[in-house]
Structure 1
Amino acid sequence: MWSEAPPVAVHAPGNPILADGRSYSTDPAPVVVGDTLWILAGRDEAAPDIDDFVMNEWQALSTKDPASGDWTHYPSIARPEAVFAWAEPGRAYAGQIVMGRDGRFYLYAPVLQKADQSKDRFAIGVAVADAPTGPWIDAHPAGPIISQTAPEPNTIQNIDPTVLIDDDGRVYIYWGTFGRLRGMELAADMVTPKGSEQTITGLDGFFEAPWLMKRKGVYYLLYAGNTVGPDCTPTLYHACIAYGAATSPLGPWTYRGVILGPVSSTTSHPGAVAFKGRWWLAYHTADAVGGGHFRRSVAIDRMAFDDRVSPPAILPVKPTRRPTPPPAPSRNIAGRATATASNVPIPVRYWIKALNDGIVRPAPLPPDMWAAEPGSASPWLEYRFDTPVTLDGARIRFWADQPAGATAGVAPPRAWRMEYWSGGWRRVRDPEGFGTGLDAFQSASFAPVTTRCVRVVLETAGAGVAVQEWEVLAPTAQPFRAAGPAAPPCDAKP
């Protein structure tokens, strides 16, 4: 039977707060209680090779000073089935704790209803407790306060609740995902709908994860956006944190911009709060040891406003990381290069920068790779360096959902080769290796070449082809050097 786990002291000299891979945390929802900042978080428990949200419970973090790095971790404070008799175990998605006017704490939690016939069984329940860590009891035992049938029919997925108690004591809740956002007023009891659900518009690129807050008479709604383009995300699967502003709690909303670019996890989830005279933005990343898109970890950074404009603008937040030692010297120097490909512009599901980011995931999502669509004739990838380099090998990691020889879907290539630029593209000499297997790097070696540009040409049977990582190897280990400005084309004059 589930029971609360004892708290653990944690020192975090930077982000993420929980970084050693023993516990993953996600979907942060900060709340201030006296002199303490609390963060409600979900727990990611997916195995490294699982592409799904395995989330069985909520946990919490607390600190007297976020800048100190000193936190207390409460590993388990609630489970859906232990709080709501009408809920199934698991799917403990993004919730929020707020302190009511009665001094008690209210947990707004998206959970799955059991024995429900709705097309989508996600619903939002409310639990109440005398402390942020519980114990929690259902504040509305009759069932969820929001679902596809309550308080009125809807067809959206009812998750990601965010709640604001306004200065006049009125209570407002927003929720939604997949580009569909709803808002509503609640009665003073914190659970009873007051008025009808409202469809919320005006927030460009809204995808999910709304966060409602107020500062100096202005209402702000932060959210995860996924509009592909330079202002938000490089690929369809990534998310940025954008926001809108309004002069009333239910809008109308006006889009105001992006405050946090894409992080290392494809999802992003904001939670912002004023604490001891400063504003803080909590979010999650995949930066912990063993982290991934389904193994995320909470981070927190300062957030500031520009009060010279009206309404005051939220300034871009600069994400920070824990100090780490410099990378060790390596034969792989792909990280110095500018990558390009035969199919630029790349389909928006994929990401050219994944080729040389040094990350290979057991179960990658589309942004973790580059890909060419089926029917591409001998697609190629190219690295451009700002100065000539000497290479004598390469390693490549393919991804596929179809077997070799397939003419549809994504399959490993029939063959691949390396070429270098020397007044034109020339094949490397004395090639060895160049395998086409999956689930491991395929190694290649060749006679040394000195060049500023190198490319790999992929021969397909008609299916698409995908590459997670492409390493190019110098004859000896080289000190780490980050990529500089975009390198010029291969045929550019010196």
Structure 2
Amino acid sequence: MKKHVLTSLLLGTVLSTAYSQKVEWNTPGAGNPFIPGYFADPTVKKFGDTYYVYATTDGSGAGFGPSQVWCSKDFENWTIMPMNWPDSHWIWAPDVMQHTDGTYRMFYCQPCNVYEGVADTPRGPWKNVLGESEAVLVPDRFVKNAITLDGQTFVDDDGSVYLYWGTWGIYKGFGCGAGKMTSDMKGFVETKLIPNTEVKDFFEAPFVMKRNGIYYFMYSSDSCHDSTYHVQYATSTVGPLGPYTYRGTILKTSADGTVHGPGHHSILQEGDNYYIVYHRHDNPHSNRGFHRQVCIDKLKFNADGSIAPIEGTHSGVGAFAKSVLKSKNLAYRKPVKASSYYDANFVPEYAVDDNNGTLWRPKTMGQEWIEIDLQKVENIRTVWTQFEYGTSYYQYVIETSVDGKKWDVFADKRSNYLAGSPMVDFGDVKARYVRLTTTGTQKNGFAGALWNIKVFGEFETASPQLWMGLSGLDWNGTEWRNDGGMLGGVFQLKSGQVSRKRIDGQEAIVLAPGTCLEFMSPVVNPKEEHTTTVWVYENNRWVSQSADKYVQRGKVVIQSQDKELTLTNFRYYNWKQEEAEKAYDAIVGLVRVEASDKMKRGLLVSLDADDFAVGDTVGYIPNKGVVEGYFETQKAPVIVEEQQGKKAFRFEGEQFFRSSFTLPATLRDNAPYTLEAWVLNPEMAENECVADFTSSHDEMEKIMLVNGTEPRCGMLNHYGWYEDVGYKEAKSLEGKWQHIYVVFDGRIEKVYINGQLISSKDIQLLIKPIQFVTLGQNAEGNWPFSGYLHALKIWDEALPLKDK
């Protein structure tokens, strides 16, 4: 456990006499980041005996949802919990507070508005306090010269609530918007601009606190994408709205660059101690800085009330309460091997080092495994797995072995569709070896990468999760599979008959009279804290009921008596729900999202001018890839000409073709792909689109082959700017054939022109369903191409460039 490792540290400098070194980003047992995954803009709160971290879901390329909160009893072992709201595309910088009326209020933003939700618990269920889900509390420029973003609350000693917001406040006359809220927190009684003359270089992420009569206005400056991002502050003794006096920098990038771009923080007070919770970029640093991670360090005040600049650490601060775990992590720093690893930055040892800043990443997106040698036979009752993306689900199987030769299944999650972190699996075996094999994922292009895998000798049940989640969709004809619950497993049909039926909009199972379904698990215990509910169809309507009558020690038994029993949405939580949460579950059914399509089809699109004669006028171009269909002109046909020894379609800016076919799901999300083309451009404009393989148009949803002089995105465009590819020597390619080859393996995208590597960078794609492919312009009808196209191909797999 981290707690035991960190207590042996002397201010984070020594691990042990046998392993003595400074705590680096990849030191086993390092306490920062303290959450496993990519999350940013954290707000930390303590409600009752539980700590909560609300944060932007990161790692998606643009900070897209879903809504979630991390919770912990000890500030060491964290569990992600999904929330119902916001349900928007962007869910940035959430902040939650408890109002004097007992309700909880959530503030979040999307560009460029702030929204407010209300709930009876810190976990929700939430609803917009103003009514409609997208009703805006603070629209853009609500305060003149304050661009609306990053809403954050502060409560003064008299109970008055203030809200602060702003971004790009660096321009002359700009700054941070602020306001004192009305008693119902649905508006403002006073607003003002806190100018950047008071909060120097204010960029975003305001946070206000009060200590010993001094108001501290803290904020982030410079670019969140790189090492310049840092935290500054100003103070006031007048009031929450200032005026403020600039004081200096609190936190910035470390000298060695491993604490990189720290910022957008909040403050946690524990007794007389204050802690800064912030995000920083992952190690090794991802392109653009959108794979951020949450860290914590102690904030230090000088005698005069000023804040001492602090050095961000990898050691963190450790636990704040007794650990929720009953046993030690048997896998910690044990010998490990894997089917593959991506490179030296993602070695298998990182999966057993109890460090949330290191990651084992396999080489491919396919079925990969990792095996741990516990070095002796141990009792194994719990395995925690922390996959790379806690908000997407993974499918896997865990096996154990005494000798490394004969293997037994410990947990079968090959049909799992529940996202979570940690994924928790229970059993009761004696074994020396533990092997996890990833078999599928919710999204294409998500490898079975792990922050940590932990093995325990006791049943570790403290992580609050949905243990069982079953609807009618989970009946497979012979058993009722718990694929939507953390326990996995199945209800076995012990007697009688079960059928599946759709009733009043719900997929349900119908138990014939005298039927018995039984689910076995060693951790099911009616005396332990839990909540169980099920929807039962009675009197021609669905009714949510307690399911406690079915719960027995070590098993759940559902029996129909002398009449049919029709039910769905069976839920078993290993924690006590509040009434508001039960009421939400009573009207909202379980959601099942299908796993990504991993059946690669190979060459999807292929067209070649060699299939035509010189002089042909072409309005239809057949697709020779595996997807049946053709390209049809939308404006004018192309003429086939011979240019420098190659046949080619001549585009003159008017030709615009659209495919008659869609592309398969194997190209969606972050899927690997290969793109090859032969292009001759007599005179390049700034942006010219040769082919657009995607019909959507949002950020990182494009795979667009362009051929222009724009230095940032002139050769390949994803609508991502940092991830796009330009070529400073583009003009030198005019009038010559270009062999363009792009290969993306799910992490690194490489672009070659005439065999020369011109770009290699890590990216994250968000490809949506592809309705059509276009030639000669992009899907929006812009960036016309004037030049020659000899051939064009795209595959739904990564194929390294071969020597020609």
| Smaller-chain TM-score bracket | 0.5 to 0.7
SS at match of 2:154: strand
Distance change (3 Å), C-alpha of 1:406 and 1:43: same
Q: Matches of 1:215 and 1:257 in 2, distance apart?
A: 17
SS at match of 1:17: coil
Q: Matches of 1:400 and 1:139 in 2, distance apart?
A: 43
Is residue 303 of structure 1 aligned with residue 299 of structure 2? Answer: yes
Q: Matches of 2:35 and 2:29 in 1, distance apart?
A: 7
Match of 2:52 in 1: 38
Is residue 261 of structure 1 aligned with residue 252 of structure 2? Answer: yes
Amino acid of the structure 2 residue aligned with 1:240: H
Equivalent residue for 1:249, pick from 234, 240, 257: 240
Q: Is the 8 A contact 1:259 1:315 kept in 2?
A: yes
Match of 1:273 in 2: 268
Amino acid of the structure 2 residue aligned with 1:57: P
Larger Rg: 2
Q: Matches of 2:262 and 2:295 in 1, distance apart?
A: 13
Match of 1:216 in 2: 212
Shift of 1:155: 5.6
Q: Is the 8 A contact 1:32 1:275 kept in 2?
A: no
CA RMSD of aligned residues (A): 3.6
Distance change (3 Å), C-alpha of 1:58 and 1:213: farther
Q: Matches of 2:292 and 2:271 in 1, distance apart?
A: 27
Equivalent residue for 2:137, pick from 137, 142, 145: 145
Q: Is the 8 A contact 1:79 1:92 kept in 2?
A: no
Q: Deviations over 1:275-299 (max 9, x none)?
A: 2432111111222678551111111
Match of 2:727 in 1: 402
Shift of 1:166: 0.8
Amino acid of the structure 2 residue aligned with 1:438: I
Q: Is the 8 A contact 1:16 1:287 kept in 2?
A: no
Q: Matches of 2:161 and 2:222 in 1, distance apart?
A: 28
- Map 1:364-383 onto structure 2 (within 5 A): none
Is residue 93 of structure 1 aligned with residue 92 of structure 2? Answer: yes
Match of 2:86 in 1: 80
Is residue 321 of structure 1 aligned with residue 320 of structure 2? Answer: no
Amino acid of the structure 2 residue aligned with 1:256: R
Q: Matches of 1:281 and 1:225 in 2, distance apart?
A: 16
Shift of 1:80: 2.6
Q: Is the 8 A contact 1:242 1:256 kept in 2?
A: yes
Shift of 1:96: 0.7
Distance change (3 Å), C-alpha of 1:185 and 1:32: same
Amino acid of the structure 2 residue aligned with 1:80: P
Is residue 176 of structure 1 aligned with residue 137 of structure 2? Answer: no
Q: Deviations over 1:448-478 (max 9, x none)?
A: xxxxxxxxxxxxxxxxxxxxxxxxxxxxxxx
Aligned length: 300
Equivalent residue for 2:279, pick from 277, 281, 284: 284
Q: Matches of 1:71 and 1:168 in 2, distance apart?
A: 33
Is residue 439 of structure 1 aligned with residue 759 of structure 2? Answer: yes
Between the two proteins, what is the percent identity of the paired residues? 27
Shift of 1:139: 1.0
Q: Is the 8 A contact 2:282 2:291 kept in 1?
A: no
Shift of 1:183: 0.9
Equivalent residue for 2:186, pick from 188, 191, 208: 191
Q: Deviations over 1:154-176 (max 9, x none)?
A: 46431101111111011111100
Amino acid of the structure 1 residue aligned with 2:48: G
SS at match of 1:95: strand
- The TM-score, its normalising length taken from structure 1, stands at 0.54
Q: Matches of 1:105 and 1:275 in 2, distance apart?
A: 21
Match of 2:592 in 1: none
Q: Matches of 1:266 and 1:169 in 2, distance apart?
A: 34
Shift of 1:199: 3.9
Distance change (3 Å), C-alpha of 1:222 and 1:295: same
Q: Is the 8 A contact 2:206 2:220 kept in 1?
A: yes
Q: Matches of 2:152 and 2:116 in 1, distance apart?
A: 12
Is residue 103 of structure 1 aligned with residue 102 of structure 2? Answer: yes
Q: Is the 8 A contact 1:279 1:304 kept in 2?
A: yes
Q: Matches of 2:150 and 2:260 in 1, distance apart?
A: 18
Q: Matches of 1:406 and 1:440 in 2, distance apart?
A: 21
Shift of 1:35: 3.1
Amino acid of the structure 2 residue aligned with 1:271: S
Amino acid of the structure 1 residue aligned with 2:72: T
SS at match of 2:117: strand
Distance change (3 Å), C-alpha of 1:290 and 1:128: same
Equivalent residue for 2:200, pick from 204, 221, 238: 204
Which ranges in structure 1 are unaligned for 5 or more consecutive residues? 1-10, 47-51, 82-88, 113-121, 228-232, 329-361, 363-398, 409-434, 442-494
Distance change (3 Å), C-alpha of 1:72 and 1:54: closer
- The TM-score, its normalising length taken from structure 2, stands at 0.34
Q: Deviations over 1:126-147 (max 9, x none)?
A: 1011221111111112621210
Which ranges in structure 2 are unaligned for 5 or more consecutive residues? 1-27, 170-174, 317-331, 334-342, 345-671, 673-723, 734-754, 762-804
Amino acid of the structure 2 residue aligned with 1:59: Q
Shift of 1:236: 8.1
Q: Matches of 2:732 and 2:216 in 1, distance apart?
A: 50
Shift of 1:15: 1.0
Shift of 1:77: 1.9
Shift of 1:12: 7.4
Shift of 1:198: 2.9
